[in-house]
A and B are shown apart, each in its own frame.
Chain A
């Protein structure tokens, strides 16, 4: 019997959007899908996990794993792999979890594939598709047969679908968090306010701004557009370098890679370094004064115009059509 383990991100036990997408993808690739959930409340929503196909949820609800604590998370995930007997692990491709999985792969002699956008089964096991070289190429790869396979799945690669399933069985884990796992002390967790906006790497829609905004105040316009669309805010390197928006929102070669359903860039010319972070988006729209801006070579819909006039009118138009 094959078991696929899915590492869950949750809020009081309820799996987040990306976790639901990954649970959906896992169904049909193994005989059984198990979930692993850590931190307070981990086992509190077995019904939803069951509804997305997990038959068991392996839990460790100690708050020692909170605050991006790598060592304790490695110990907990190690215990979940052991308890489930899974040879395959799917996890949301997120920088923090990538660290956890990197360490565990060395301990358990596993192979790792990051940022999968598609998964198919074959005689060699699960084949993952991922973008390489800034989205210029697609690579299909797999972990060699006989080795545990850890695969990071990108947000929005799959559509979450419920099935009629029993609540998952809650199976608390015995986890030993030793001194080695506690070598990193978490002193403080600082959250910058971003309202109710979704996280950029998980968002279905991203409204991004660049040099054309003129100054930090210009980003208020992008935030308003984002809020009208229920989108996250992204920024070009020019904008984050200038200090107009926090670096964690930077899209591009040296920042984040995003592939939302829709990307709308305002005042972004689309240098190759920026395109390397967003060109695999499903739909791309752009607003720019320069008709020759390279961004227009990859847009599905482009507006040549002054963003300071087009964006406010667009926000009005969106709100009008929503009401």
Chain B
């Protein structure tokens, strides 16, 4: 089985974000970039599949600047076999459509049975890319998956819904997006980190991938940003210390709920 793990380099949630005032793109290098947390569950699931199914190869797929190489090595340190990194100055500012177009183009000449990825990135959180990638590739997408069973080329999954889950089945090759409930990701080992340095990373530019520069980045995106502003800071609210009985806190909070017309 050949598994592709699309991964994303995102600003650390705790980091101060820097947005270029001219084109509203994120200065990713100044925002403590990390591997997107939800991608770790996809990587873990791929590793668990490889433990069950012999001769499984796992390849990370990452679109980003040169510096995304650090994120690719991080992904490899979990024990993946190799990576495809699409690096081209033109991809900066790509929206979900442009991103999915590049990822799909990079996979056009690749064999794969499964593309497994996080259901969302922590920066944009659009959740669009798995479905768009599947549509570009003409394959099904099982999204928000919390349990995945594989029997030959038949994939059976539990898709998380607001009230529970649905059990769905489809034939591969296909795209799967996973939620956190699917597994408990391992930590990279020292051996894995050392080995990651020697794993093959196939760095490609847009021309190699076969996408014209005008179809990616800000020009190739179908959406445009008018402005990005920090959210107005919240004023510090009232704090009441309960006397230990629970009553004073409860009464104060109930009074406030009345004041706010909640009650």
A interface residue numbers (CB < 8 A to B): 67-68, 70-71, 94-96, 98-103, 105-107, 109-115, 124, 127, 131-144, 147, 183-192, 194, 199-201, 205, 229, 237, 240, 246-248, 250, 253-255, 257, 261-262, 272-273, 276, 279-280, 283-285, 287, 291, 296-306, 308-314, 316-318, 321-322
CB pair A140 B263 closer than 8 Å: no
Q: Which residues of B contact A311 (CB under 8 A)?
A: 246, 250
Across the interface, A136 reaches (CB within 8 A) one of B129, B142, B180, B230, namely B230
CB pair B237 A302 closer than 8 Å: yes
Across the interface, A201 reaches (CB within 8 A) one of B128, B162, B242, namely B162
Q: Which residues of A contact B17 (CB under 8 A)?
A: 133, 136-137
CB pair A291 B239 closer than 8 Å: yes
B126 within 8 A of A: yes
Residue of B nearest to A237 (CB): B180
B11 within 8 A of A: yes
CB pair B144 A285 closer than 8 Å: no
Q: A67-B166, A112-B97, A247-B180 are in contact. Are A132 and B228 (CB under 8 A)?
A: yes
Residue of B nearest to A71 (CB): B140
- Given A94-B162, A185-B169, A276-B13, 15 more A-B residue pairs with CB atoms under 8 Å apart are A68-B166, A95-B144, A103-B131, A105-B222, A110-B222, A124-B224, A139-B24, A183-B140, A184-B140, A187-B156, A298-B234, A301-B253, A305-B249, A311-B246, A313-B251
B30 within 8 A of A: no
Q: Which residues of A contact B136 (CB under 8 A)?
A: 106
CB pair B249 A287 closer than 8 Å: yes
Q: How far is the CA of A299 from the CA of B256 in the complex (A)?
A: 12
Most chain B beta-carbon neighbours within 10 Å: one of A100, A240, A321 = A321
Residue of B nearest to A145 (CB): B224
CB pair B238 A302 closer than 8 Å: yes
A-B CB contact pairs (8 Å), 8 listed: A105-B128, A143-B222, A285-B256, A305-B241, A309-B242, A310-B242, A313-B246, A314-B253
B207 within 8 A of A: no
B135 within 8 A of A: yes
Q: A112-B126, A185-B170, A304-B239 are in contact. Are A312 and B141 (CB under 8 A)?
A: no
CB distance from B223 to the nearest CB of A (A): 5
Residue of A nearest to B226 (CB): A140
CB distance from A36 to the nearest CB of B (A): 18
Q: How far is the CA of A140 from the CA of B24 in the complex (A)?
A: 10
Q: Which residues of A contact B249 (CB under 8 A)?
A: 287, 303-305, 309-310, 313-314
For the complex of A and B, 9 pairs with smallest distance between CB atoms = A305-B242, A309-B246, A102-B131, A111-B222, A313-B250, A247-B181, A300-B237, A317-B254, A303-B249
CB pair A253 B256 closer than 8 Å: no
CB distance from A195 to the nearest CB of B (A): 11
CB pair A141 B224 closer than 8 Å: yes
Q: Which residues of B contact A98 (CB under 8 A)?
A: 126-128, 131
B interface residue numbers (CB < 8 A to A): 11, 13-14, 17, 19, 24, 37-38, 95-97, 100, 119, 122-132, 134-136, 140-144, 146, 156, 158-171, 179-181, 221-231, 234, 236-242, 244-254, 256-258, 260, 262-263
Across the interface, B246 reaches (CB within 8 A) one of A147, A262, A273, A310, namely A310
CB pair B263 A70 closer than 8 Å: no
Q: Which residues of A contact B251 (CB under 8 A)?
A: 313, 317
CB distance from A8 to the nearest CB of B (A): 17
Q: Which residues of B contact A316 (CB under 8 A)?
A: 250
CB distance from B160 to the nearest CB of A (A): 5
Across the interface, B95 reaches (CB within 8 A) one of A70, A111, A250, A291, namely A111
CB pair A70 B141 closer than 8 Å: yes
